[in-house]
């Protein structure tokens, strides 16, 4: 567990409890399946990084049904709801990081064979949560100790 | 019913806010971005605006500024509801004039409570503003006749000099003839009845844009914007006849016959104070000539 994991657990728990009425349950060691949806918000400024929320379409649909308190949800609503969830988690993570920085609008990727990367960042932590019998992963990408991954890699190449 | 304009690019958030606010008896209109809000706020006429910050196009800060520039009443509270949770974001929002700043996630109960509280403050402010308007009106009104008082007429003259000095204006000064005799013979209560009746007859003889006020004891001042000397003489004669043609009913006997003398002068608004002095001279001339008449002291341009 690194310095960011506790923050992600607390923030994702608070967001899910407030918005859904039920908290995401941390599930250390759980392995997320292939995500059907990834919502991403980037943090740009003094600190560079991104927050990803990844889950199956079924889990995202369950989240959306709870948010909207309705049984039938449209795919566009599911994408929007997951994006908003990433936005809330990202906004609260950003408040804990060095600033000033800006939060991007959420982007949502759909499909079973995708990988999201943000140049200059590495995966700092991935926190799996259990929700509705499914695993939801919240991922924090960012610089390593204030030095971007790109800079770090360049420095390593110079040494070589 | 109070109405809230929700501005948020997330349909999910708009639907949730609509549901929670409508459940609390608050009407909701929504816009999916800042430009849409700017385009629709006048028609919506909201009592409160609930505004996201991170949106495509105008962000929330820019939307707030643009709404104010386009005439959103400064008394309408704006609350930010945003995922930007940093202290610097909160300070920026409040510095721009937002009433409140809510961080997402915000529980529905808290959101409704804050919106309701802001609406209550707005309602109290509106009530105080109405009371202030009433009090301001009272400070500009003559209590006995309901006409404007000296302060109101002074204000009107100042505005004319400042805002439209080249436009035509006429000034009438009317004085009730032998009013002292009315008071001495019938008492001050009857004198007040006569003052009110004469005030009413003068007022109803004047055009709508005229400033009509009680200038002194039994003296009335009328300011007639846009009126030349010929028109002013006709208006003054109408007022003089309105006063004298019918006795003032006092509840006793057949009423009291009253007349007024009127002095007038017409010219440019920039010289309205000088016109008042000329009209005052003309009034004394009317008295000297036997009362119940109109005397015009307009100085024609050479």
pTM greater than 0.90: no
Assigned token pair, A20? 């859904």
Query: How is residue B247 annotated by DSSP?
Result: P
pLDDT value of residue A146:
52
Report the chain A residue with the minimal C-alpha distance to residue B109.
A18
B interface with A, Cβ–Cβ < 8 A, is: 9-13, 15-16, 19, 54-56, 82-89, 103-107
Strand partners, A37: A55, A110
Contact B12 A77 (CB under 8 A): yes
Burial of A68-95, coded b for 16+ CB within 10 Å and e otherwise, reads beeeebeeebbbbbbbbbbbbbbbbbbb
Contact B106 A18 (CB under 8 A): yes
Report the chain B residue with the minimal C-alpha distance to residue A102.
B84
Contact B88 A99 (CB under 8 A): yes
| Closest chain B C-alpha to A90 CA, distance in angstroms | 8
Report the chain B residue with the minimal C-alpha distance to residue A73.
B12
How far apart CA A127 and CA A140 sit, in angstroms, is: 9
Which long-range CB contacts under 8 A does A150-158 form with residues at least 24 apart? A150/A119, A150/A120, A151/A120
Contact B105 A80 (CB under 8 A): no
pLDDT value of residue A154:
47
B211 and B276 Cβ atoms separated by less than 8 Å: no
Strand partners, B5: B29, B49
Q: Which of A19, A68, A83, A99 to mutate to test the interface with B (most CBs of B within 10 A)?
A: A19
Angle (nearest 5°) at CA B89 between B85 and B92:
155
Report the 10 Å Cβ neighbour count for B128: 10
How far apart CA B142 and CA B138 sit, in angstroms, is: 8
Contact B12 A67 (CB under 8 A): yes
Q: Flag whether pLDDT at B217 surpasses 60.
A: yes
| Closest chain B C-alpha to A7 CA, distance in angstroms | 14
List CB contacts (< 8 A) between B87 and chain A: 95
Q: Flag whether pLDDT at A152 surpasses 70.
A: no
pLDDT value of residue B301:
66
Summary mean pLDDT of chain B: 94
What is the pLDDT averaged over residues B129-136? Answer: 89
Distances (CA, A) of A154 to A117, A150, A159, B93, B175: 18, 6, 9, 40, 97
Pairing relation of β-strands A25-26 and A122-131? antiparallel
Task: Report phi then psi at B141, rounded to 5.
Answer: -120, 140
Summary mean pLDDT of chain A: 87
Q: At A145, is the pLDDT very low, low, confident or very high (cuts 50, 70, 90)? A: low
Residues near B125 by beta carbon (within 8 Å), at least 6 away in sequence:
B75
List CB contacts (< 8 A) between A42 and chain B: none
Can B164 be counted among the known catalytic residues? no
Q: Which of B12, B85, B89 sits opposite A84 (nearest CB)?
A: B12
Contact B85 A91 (CB under 8 A): yes
Q: Of A48, A56, A51, whose CA–CA distance to A15 is shortest?
A: A51
Q: For residue range B69-103, what is the model confidence (pLDDT) as tens digits? A: 999 999 999 999 998 888 888 898 999 989 999 99
Percent of chain A with pLDDT over 70: 89
Complex prediction ipTM? 0.82
What is the pLDDT averaged over residues B31-52? Answer: 96
Asked if A65 is an interface residue toward chain B (Cβ–Cβ < 8 A), one would say: no
The active-site residue out of B109, B218, B237, B246 is B218
Asked if A39 is an interface residue toward chain B (Cβ–Cβ < 8 A), one would say: no
pLDDT value of residue A32:
75
Percent of chain B with pLDDT over 70: 99
Q: Flag whether pLDDT at A150 surpasses 50.
A: no
Q: For residue range A8-48, what is the model confidence (pLDDT) as tens digits? A: 999 999 999 999 998 899 998 888 777 899 999 999 999 99
Distances (CA, A) of B96 to A94, A101, B63, B122: 21, 19, 11, 18
């Amino acid at each position: 567990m690194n310095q960011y994991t506790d923050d992600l657990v607390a923030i994702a728990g608070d967001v899910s409890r407030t918005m859904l009425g039920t908290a995401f349950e941390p599930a250390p060691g759980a392995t997320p399946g292939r995500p059907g949806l990834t919502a991403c918000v980037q943090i740009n400024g003094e600190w560079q990084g991104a927050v990803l929320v990844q889950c199956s379409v079924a889990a995202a649909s369950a989240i959306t049904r709870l948010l909207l308190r309705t049984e039938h949800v449209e795919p566009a609503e599911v994408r929007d709801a997951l994006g908003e969830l990433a936005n809330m988690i990202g906004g609260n993570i950003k408040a804990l990081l060095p600033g000033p920085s800006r939060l991007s609008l959420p982007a949502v990727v759909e499909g079973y064979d995708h990988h999201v990367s943000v140049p200059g960042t590495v995966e700092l932590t991935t926190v799996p949560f259990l929700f509705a019998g499914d695993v939801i992963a919240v991922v924090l990408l960012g610089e390593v100790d204030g030095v971007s991954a790109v800079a770090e890699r360049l420095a390593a190449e110079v040494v070589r | 019913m109070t109405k809230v304009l929700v501005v948020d690019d997330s349909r999910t958030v708009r639907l949730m806010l609509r549901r929670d606010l409508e459940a609390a008896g608050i009407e909701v209109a929504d816009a999916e971005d800042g430009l849409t809000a700017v385009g629709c706020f006048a028609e919506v006429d909201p009592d409160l605006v609930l505004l996201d910050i991170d949106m495509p196009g105008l962000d929330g800060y820019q939307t707030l500024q643009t709404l104010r520039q386009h005439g959103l009443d400064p008394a309408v509270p704006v609350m930010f509801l945003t995922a930007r949770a940093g202290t610097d974001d909160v300070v920026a929002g409040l510095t721009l004039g937002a009433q409140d700043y809510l961080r997402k996630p915000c529980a529905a109960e808290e959101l409704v409570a804050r919106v309701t509280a802001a609406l209550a403050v707005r309602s109290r402010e509106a009530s105080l503003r109405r009371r202030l308007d009433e009090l301001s009106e009272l400070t500009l009104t003559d209590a006995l006749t309901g006409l404007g008082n000296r302060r109101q007429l002074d204000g009107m003259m100042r505005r004319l000099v400042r805002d439209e000095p080249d436009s035509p204006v006429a000034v009438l000064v009317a004085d009730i003839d032998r009013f002292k005799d009315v008071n001495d013979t019938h008492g001050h209560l009857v004198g007040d009845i006569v003052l009110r009746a004469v005030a009413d007859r003068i007022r109803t003889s004047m055009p709508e844009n005229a400033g009509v006020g009680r200038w002194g004891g039994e003296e009335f001042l009328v300011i007639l914007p846009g009126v030349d000397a010929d028109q002013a003489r006709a208006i003054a004669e109408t007022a003089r006849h309105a006063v004298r043609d019918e006795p003032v009913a006092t509840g006793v006997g057949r009423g009291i016959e009253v007349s007024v003398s009127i002095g007038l002068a017409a010219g440019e608004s920039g010289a309205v104070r000088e016109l008042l002095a000329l009209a005052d001279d003309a009034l004394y001339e009317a008295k000297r000539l036997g009362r119940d008449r109109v005397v015009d002291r307009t100085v024609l341009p050479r």
